[in-house]
A and B are shown apart, each in its own frame.
Chain A
Amino acid sequence: MSETPQELRYTDTHEWARVEPDGTVCVGISDFAQDALGDVVFIELPETGTEVAAGAEVAVIESVKAASDIYSPVSGEIVRVNDQLTDAPDLVNSEPYDGGWIFVVQPLSDDLSADLLTADQYQEFCETDSNAH
């Protein structure tokens, strides 16, 4: 079973979002997603300063098998990216919620709750998703 930390929020495209104490939003992909992708071998990171809309393609994760788009869960500006992933993209597999974070957004609005899924909702979504395959 994949891990789905309760304190995070999720998207139906398998990103997680964590509101940091400074109000920024840290983004990565879920344990469920990294397991489905398999070995991550390359990540194309966004540039800091880029303005992104919620749902926009921001990064690309390449696994051995396929390329996958990563979408921003919120609208705002990219303020940090995880440069460690350039040399160690497999952190996305081994530590999806820690060392495998991908980028940080300074959101336009501080109200995230409306559009994002809770851990329970996301888990339910994944179960439906895997049964469909």
Chain B
Amino acid sequence: MKTALYEKHVRLEAQLVDFAGWEMPMRYSSTIDEHHAVRNHVGMFDVSHMLTVDFEGAQSALFLQRLLASDVSKLSKDGQALYTVMLNERGGIIDDLIVYRLHETSFRIVFNAGVATTDLEWVTAWQQTTAYSLSITPRRDLSIVAVQGPKAIQTVVEILDCPQLMAVQPFTAIFHNELFIGRTGYTGEDGVEIICPNADATNIWSQLLNAGVLPCGLGARDTLRLEAGMNLNGQDMTPDLTPYECALSWVLDLEPSRDFVGQTALAETHRQGIATKLTGIVLQGGVMRSGYEVQSNAGLGTITSGSFSPTLGYSIALARIPRASTGDCSVLIRNKQKAGRIVRPPFVRHGEKVHR
């Protein structure tokens, strides 16, 4: 499949890769240059492979309270957003997502590309089960361009002639003509995600390009989110793992009065005790990769996401290791034990080292 911006990527001579059936740019020039552009200036990503879905109707809030692990009634104003997870009945993570309140009776969710079809089938099946009154509309007519970096807001305000964006708080979105602009992202920098009609995507992309915004591929997206300590679904999270095992217990709204899918299983898992945790590892003298074995003071674990941090100049990783693990550890890299250290993510915030 191709996004509305595919021809732009080809013209920019991007290295294209298959991602969940989509032909997406891995990098345009250098992943490290693209990474630094986002940390120091501004970069943009085509993330139109993700699926925007609108939930509209009198009982849409009730429905999402049932389907999501966070309570959407916390969204008290139109435009407010929250990050949460959608769980299966075992408490395992189907997807992590951002839900925006559009109006009192309508919400917008963006699903990850790799599980978009699964997600859509899941919510559709639950709508039939609950018989709540709402419509669920997948919006493949919309594209998403993420503009990220310390200069992102200023640039977008100028390009889209949208001064009201200056006053928009993080995790809040506004409508601007046909555009839906949310102050959200997946890089650990300030920025926006612009959801626009497919027909407008190329024009917005070109204007941003002309304003000096550097196009960035999935390679930089991955190093940026990893530095920011953000999970990647399918890699750091799977349907067999609960939020407790994915460093996401903070998103759970567990009031007994609630009744969301997976809540009962979560309570049981919590009662039995959680054996592992998802945390960070830093290492010099090699590069950690997903699947590598970790030896800690409390036993064996596994790297779930590993790469090189362009900001820090050494390797960083997320790893699932025994809950009691702390301090020094060793990582098996291509048949050699390399010394690493367990740290608490994030690794980088606003361009600066934050792990200790």
User: Which A residues lie at the B interface, using CB under 8 A?
Assistant: 38-39, 41-42, 44, 60, 62, 64-67, 93
Contacts and interface: CB of A to CB of B under 8 A. Distances in A.
Residue with the greatest number of chain A CB neighbours at <10 A, chosen from B27, B32, B285: B32
Interface string B307-338: 11010000100000000000000000010000
Contacts of B334: 44, 60, 67
Which 10 pairs show the lowest CB-CB distances between chains A and B? Answer: A62-B287, A41-B308, A39-B32, A64-B31, A39-B30, A64-B308, A42-B287, A39-B31, A38-B31, A64-B219
Interface string B5-49: 000000000010000000000110011100000000000000000
Contacts of B286: 42, 44, 62
B30 to A, nearest CB: 5
A64 B15 CA distance: 14
Nearest to A44: B286
Contacts, number: 38
Nearest to B15: A38
B219 A38 contact: yes
Contacts of A44: 286, 334
B289 interface: yes
Contact of A62 (B15, B219, B308): B308
Contacts of B307: 64
Contacts of B26: 38, 65
B221 to A, nearest CB: 12
B287 A67 contact: yes
Contacts of B315: 42
Contacts of A67: 287, 289, 334
Nearest to A86: B285
A102 B289 CA distance: 23
A67 B307 CA distance: 10
A39 B309 CA distance: 12
Contacts of B219: 38, 64-65
A100 to B, nearest CB: 15
A86 B300 CA distance: 30
B287 A41 contact: yes
A62 B26 CA distance: 17
B84 interface: no
Nearest to A93: B30
B32 A64 contact: yes
Contacts of A93: 30
B3 interface: no
A122 B285 CA distance: 32
Nearest to A65: B219
Contacts of B32: 39, 41, 64
Contacts of A62: 286-287, 308
B70 interface: no
Contacts of B305: none
A17 B223 CA distance: 33
Given A42-B286, A64-B308, 4 more contacts: A39-B31, A41-B287, A42-B315, A62-B308
A42 B308 contact: yes
A56 B287 CA distance: 22
Nearest to B27: A38
B315 to A, nearest CB: 8
Interface in B184-224: 219, 223
18 contacts: A38-B15, A38-B26, A38-B27, A39-B30, A39-B31, A41-B32, A41-B287, A42-B285, A42-B287, A42-B315, A44-B286, A44-B334, A62-B287, A64-B308, A64-B310, A66-B289, A67-B287, A67-B334
Contact of B223 (A42, A60, A64, A66): A64
A57 to B, nearest CB: 9
Nearest to A57: B334
A41 B314 CA distance: 9
